[in-house]
Amino acid sequence: MMRVGFPAQLDPEFLRVFPEGIELIPLPHDLDHDVEIDVWIPDPYSTRALRIWPRLRGVRLVLSMMAGTEWIPPTVGPHVTICNAHGAHNISTAEWTVSAILATLKYFPLYLDIQRSGIWKRRFEATTHYERISGDKRTLYPPVMLEELTGKRVLLVGYGAIGKEIERMLGPFKVEMTRAARTARNEPKVYAVSELDTLLPQAEVVVLILPLTAASHGLIGSRQFALMRQGSLLVNAARGPIVNTDALVEALQSGRIRAALDVTDPEPLPDGHPLWSCPNLLLTPHIAGSSPQFAPRSLSTAAAELSRYMNGETMHNIVQAAI
């Protein structure tokens, strides 16, 4: 019987979707003895998963609950097949992305600060903020208190399942969408990431939702920030190291751009790090996928892959095939 190890903290109710003919083995995060399993569902918190990996024996297949799997191949080696949870986090991550864009353009962080201060007249700080971040020198009356998303030029960097869901959710805002991915293609038009430097100057909102690879590491740095429009918004819902943190801090502190981040480099962001106090920044601690549907969706995806594996069928979400 195939033995499937899973994080012991998971609600057993979510495991009912798994096929018959397997033995489910709960793996506590403080596992203190060796365990023989065929299939491993790692804890979504990689530090916990890495802690118990030396205790696991016989693993042939890894079914990740996450879309990103960058830490898994160097951990398990080339002789283990790895599948990710492609598609499981589309909705929650896309909703975070759209919410972060809207929250930034509507100045919600500023208005939350004003609410806490209890001083109504501070609302005119929004006008000063708009003038400073946009560089708009016109005399506008009534005063500007927020911005609009509708009609904005959006550059979507990464056009996988989550990127397509972000595009779908942005549809009602009638944004002008430009897409970029690892390779160029048509229908719809997708530019190659290698053309990014020519695309950035036109964008008002830049959304990063591509995987972390050797090619994407440090993709956005000082040169790219210099190419971006004054007041443009960078949204990173991908991985922190895709953006050079020192360059990001400098761009934010200079007032050139603004950003909304769910991921950082380093992560977790340590106490006292400059990003915590940067202006023009909305920061959340890597929570975009963490809705109540996280476990049900990712485990349903894993269960479907396991069924294919057991039936000798081609799996859909392979990111590394065993050699």
Q: Would you say domain 90-106+147-283 falls under CATH 3.40.980.10?
A: no
Q: How far apart are CA 177 and CA 142, in angstroms?
A: 30
pLDDT top residue among 187 and 307:
307
| C-alpha closest to that of 99 among 298, 267, 262 | 262
Q: How far apart are CA 245 and CA 233, in angstroms?
A: 16
pLDDT score recorded for residue 151: 97
pLDDT in tens, 114-168: 999 999 999 999 999 999 999 998 999 999 999 999 999 999 999 999 999 999 9
In the predicted model, what is the mean pLDDT of residues 15-21? 95
Given the residues 29, 51, 273, 286, select the one marked as catalytic: 286
Given the residues 86, 129, 239, 258, select the one marked as catalytic: 239
Q: How far apart are CA 83 and CA 316, in angstroms?
A: 8
Q: How far apart are CA 310 and CA 290, in angstroms?
A: 29
Instruction: Flag whether pLDDT at 242 surpasses 90.
Output: yes
In the predicted model, what is the mean pLDDT of residues 219-223? 98
At 264, the pLDDT band (50, 70, 90 cuts) reads: very high
Instruction: Flag whether pLDDT at 255 surpasses 90.
Output: yes
Q: Would you say domain 2-88+292-320 falls under CATH 3.20.20.140?
A: no
Q: pTM for the full model?
A: 0.93
At 187, the pLDDT band (50, 70, 90 cuts) reads: confident
In the predicted model, what is the mean pLDDT of residues 202-215? 96
Take residue 306 and report the two structure tokens written for it: 């396991």
Burial classification of residue 119, based on how many CB atoms lie within 10 Å of its CB (0-12 exposed, 13-18 middle, 19 or more buried): exposed
pLDDT score recorded for residue 222: 98
90-106+147-283 has the same fold as 2-88+292-320: yes
Whole-number mean pLDDT of the chain?
Answer: 97
Domain ranges of the chain: 2-88+292-320, 90-106+147-283
pLDDT in tens, 72-131: 999 999 999 999 999 999 999 999 999 999 999 999 999 999 999 999 999 999 999 999
pLDDT in tens, 288-308: 999 999 999 999 999 999 999
Could you confirm whether 286 is annotated as catalytic?
A: yes
Q: Which residues, at least 6 apart from 254, have a Cβ–Cβ distance to it below 8 Å? A: none
Could you confirm whether 316 is annotated as catalytic?
A: no
Given the residues 36, 195, 267, 313, select the one marked as catalytic: 267
Q: How far apart are CA 257 and CA 259, in angstroms?
A: 7
- What single DSSP character describes residue 209? -
The Cα-based distances of 184 to 180, 193, 204, 317 in angstroms read 7, 8, 22, 22
pLDDT in tens, 30-55: 999 999 999 999 999 999 999 999 99
Could you confirm whether 239 is annotated as catalytic?
A: yes
